Amino acid sequence: MLGTLVNAGAILTGSLVGLLLKKGIPEKMNDAIMKGVALCVLYIGLDGCLAGTNALITILSMVLGAIFGCLLDLDGQLGSLGKFLERLLQSGSGSLANGFVTASLLFCVGAMAVVGSLQSGLTGDHTTLFAKSLLDGISSIVFAASLGMGVALSAAAVLLYQGAITLLAQALSPVLSEFVIAEMTCVGSLLIIALGLNMLGITKIKVMNYVPAIFLVIPICYLF
């Protein structure tokens, strides 16, 4: 769990720095920075998509993932959690829920979150999660300066999500070949692209509803 704990700590620290800087950043510059980060998110997603080699696996995973996600209303549940935290902290601006949802998705759906957590649980190698911690820490500074306190709360989501994968890694190890991990990376990267498009205001995709697709890759891979 060391890698996940460091990752959550980096997000929390970066968010606190971003909140301290928030008042000193003009709104116009804030908007420009956010759009720049969104473009970088798109780049990360596009780069990760190249890991996949079988488009049919990706298509089936996304379709079935969307069905499960919609039936479970994962996006609505995550939004409700954000709003609950907003009420709990007596913030009625709506920015806390938005910051929590956006940052939680960005920090959780990427390939590094899944692969790094698996490496941490299977071999005790935390290198990938340490690298992710650095990236997330820097990103959280920018996000917190733009989106506020909700970004800091996403550290808890990362702790739970990556921690669960780390603890389950031993059970999943027999089915996680390099091919399966590559296809999971591809699907996760598609979700990052969707998040980047949302950040730019181009789309309003309910990204959380597609998260099951990342894990549905495992059984689908063994059908082909």
Number of compact structural domains in the chain: 1
In angstroms, rounded to a whole number, what is the distance separating the alpha carbons of residues 6 and 183? Answer: 27
**Phi–psi pair at 110, nearest 5 degrees:** -70, 165
Which pLDDT score, from 0 to 100, does residue 32 have? 83
Which pLDDT score, from 0 to 100, does residue 217 have? 92
* 92 against 113, higher pLDDT: 113
| Confidence band for 81, pLDDT divided at 50, 70 and 90 | confident
| Confidence band for 36, pLDDT divided at 50, 70 and 90 | confident
Which pLDDT score, from 0 to 100, does residue 91 have? 59
- In the predicted structure, residue 166 carries a pLDDT above the cut 80: yes
Average pLDDT of the residues of the chain: 84
Q: Indicate the range of 1-15, 41-55, 56-70 predicted with least confidence.
A: 41-55
Q: Indicate the range of 20-29, 37-46, 188-197, 211-220 predicted with least confidence.
A: 20-29
The three-state (H, E, C) secondary structure of the chain, written as one string: CHHHHHHHHHHHHHHHHHHHHHHHCCHHHHHHHHHHHHHHHHHHHHHHHCCCCCHHHHHHHHHHHHHHHHHHCHHHHHHHHHHHHHHHCCCCCCHHHHHHHHHHHHHHCCHHHHHHHHHHHHHCCCHHHHHHHHHHHHHHHHHHHHHCCHHHHHHHHHHHHHHHHHHHHHHHHHHCCHHHHHHHHHHHHHHHHHHHHHHCCCCCCCHHHHCHHHHHHHHHHCCC
Mean pLDDT of 84-96: 67
Residues 98-145: pLDDT tens digits?
A: 888 888 888 887 667 877 888 788 778 888 889 889 888 888 888 888
Q: What is the pTM of this model?
A: 0.79
Which pLDDT score, from 0 to 100, does residue 40 have? 82
Which pLDDT score, from 0 to 100, does residue 224 have? 74
Which pLDDT score, from 0 to 100, does residue 208 have? 85
- Cα of 36 vs its chain's centroid, Å: 18
In angstroms, rounded to a whole number, what is the distance separating the alpha carbons of residues 179 and 36? Answer: 32
Mean pLDDT of 20-45: 79
Which domain covers residue 74, as residue numbers? 2-221
- In the predicted structure, residue 92 carries a pLDDT above the cut 60: no
Q: Of 12, 87, 47, 53, which Cα lies nearest the Cα of 221?
A: 53
- In the predicted structure, residue 56 carries a pLDDT above the cut 90: yes
| Confidence band for 42, pLDDT divided at 50, 70 and 90 | confident
